[in-house]
Amino acid sequence: MNDFNDERGREFERVVAEQLDGLYRAALRLLGNASDAEDAVQECCARACNGLRKLKSDDAIKPWLFRILRNVCIDRLRWQSRVRLVSTDEADFAAGPDDCRAVNTPEQLCIGAALGRLVDEGMRGLPFEQRAVVIFVLVEGFTYAEAAEALQVPVGTVRSRLSRARAHLRQVISSRDKAVERAGTPRLSRLLG
C-alpha cells in the first residue's frame, strides 16, 4: 500500500466500517447461514484490500465492495456444491434474524417473528441474482445504476430482476397473510403501517 493515496485508503476504511452490516446482511441472505456469511465478509474485505490499488480514483467503493462480495458468495456456493460439510460450529441463520430484531411488546415480538419468517421464506424462494438485487436496492439503498455496477449487468436487467423478485415476494407474503387473516388474526401487512 506504499504508493496508495492515503486519502483513498482512509475512505476505503470508512466505507468498510460503514457498510459492514450491509455486507454481512447481504452475505447472510445470499449464503443462508451465519458462519458462511462471516467468512464471506472477511474474504471480501481481504480481496478488496488486495485489489485496492487497481481501483480507479473515481470508482465508487461501495458498489465495488458489494460486487466483490457477490463474487465471493458465488465462489462459495459453487465450491459447496462439490463439498460435504462434515462438521461446523455455527448455527444456521434461521434463528439469527428474529433474535436480533428490536421489539418491545409480546404482540410486537410475535408480529416481528412472523414477518421475519415470511421474509425468510420469500427470499429463500428467489434465485441468487434476484435475491442480490432485492438486497442491494431495497435493503441497502443502491440506485439501479449502483446495483448494475455491483452486479455487472445492465440497468434494465436490474429493473426486470427487481420486478420479478417483488412479484414473487408479494405473492408469498400475501398468500400467507390471507391465511393468517382467515385464522382470525389481523393481517401482518396492515399492522406494519
Partner 1 sequence: MVETCSGFDLESFVDGECTAEDAAGIRRHLAECAVCSASVDELETLDRLLRETMTAEVAPRDLRQRVLAQVENCLAPPSRAPLSVGRRGFAFAAFGALAASAVVFTVGPRLLAWRESRHQIVSTLISDFETFLFAERVLDFTASEVAGAVDWYGSKLDFQLPAFPVEPGGNRLIGGRLCWLFGRRLASLSFEGTDGALALYVMSADGLALPENQAGLDVSVHRKGRFTNVVWRQGDLAIGLVGDGPSGRVEQVAQILLNSMG
User: Does residue 3 belong to the site contacting partner 1 (CB under 8 A)?
Assistant: no
Instruction: Rank residues 61 and 67 by Cβ distance to partner 1 and give the closer one.
Output: 61
User: Does residue 20 belong to the site contacting partner 1 (CB under 8 A)?
Assistant: yes
> What is the C-alpha separation between 10 and 5, in angstroms, rounded?
9
Which residues, at least 6 apart from 102, have a Cβ–Cβ distance to it below 8 Å? none
- Which range, of 43-51, 54-62, 178-186, touches partner 1 by CB under 8 A? 43-51
> What is the C-alpha separation between 71 and 104, in angstroms, rounded?
38
> What is the C-alpha separation between 147 and 152, in angstroms, rounded?
8
- Which range, of 44-52, 56-64, 178-186, touches partner 1 by CB under 8 A? 44-52
Task: Please report, as a single letter, which amino acid is at residue 12.
Answer: F
**What is the size of the binding site for partner 1 (CB under 8 A)?**
69
Q: Smallest distance, Å, CB 27 to partner 1?
A: 9
> What is the C-alpha separation between 27 and 135, in angstroms, rounded?
10
Which is nearest to 77 in space by CA: 106, 40, 119? Answer: 40
Q: Which of 59, 88, 109, 186 binds partner 1 (CB under 8 A)?
A: 88
User: Does residue 1 belong to the site contacting partner 1 (CB under 8 A)?
Assistant: yes
Cα-based distances in Å from 115 to 42, 119, 138: 29, 6, 16
Q: Smallest distance, Å, CB 183 to partner 1?
A: 19
- Which range, of 40-48, 55-63, 178-186, touches partner 1 by CB under 8 A? 40-48
User: Does residue 42 belong to the site contacting partner 1 (CB under 8 A)?
Assistant: yes
User: Does residue 110 belong to the site contacting partner 1 (CB under 8 A)?
Assistant: no
180: cell is 393468517
User: Does residue 86 belong to the site contacting partner 1 (CB under 8 A)?
Assistant: yes
- Cα-based angle 99, 103, 108 (whole degrees, multiple of 5): 110
- DSSP three-state, residue 186: coil
> What is the C-alpha separation between 48 and 187, in angstroms, rounded?
44
Contacts with partner 1 by CB under 8 A lie at: 1-2, 4, 9, 12-13, 16-17, 20-21, 23-25, 28-29, 34-36, 38-43, 45-46, 49-50, 52, 72, 75-76, 79, 81-89, 96-97, 100-102, 115-116, 118-119, 134-135, 137-139, 143-144, 159, 162-163, 166-167, 169-170, 173, 189, 192-193
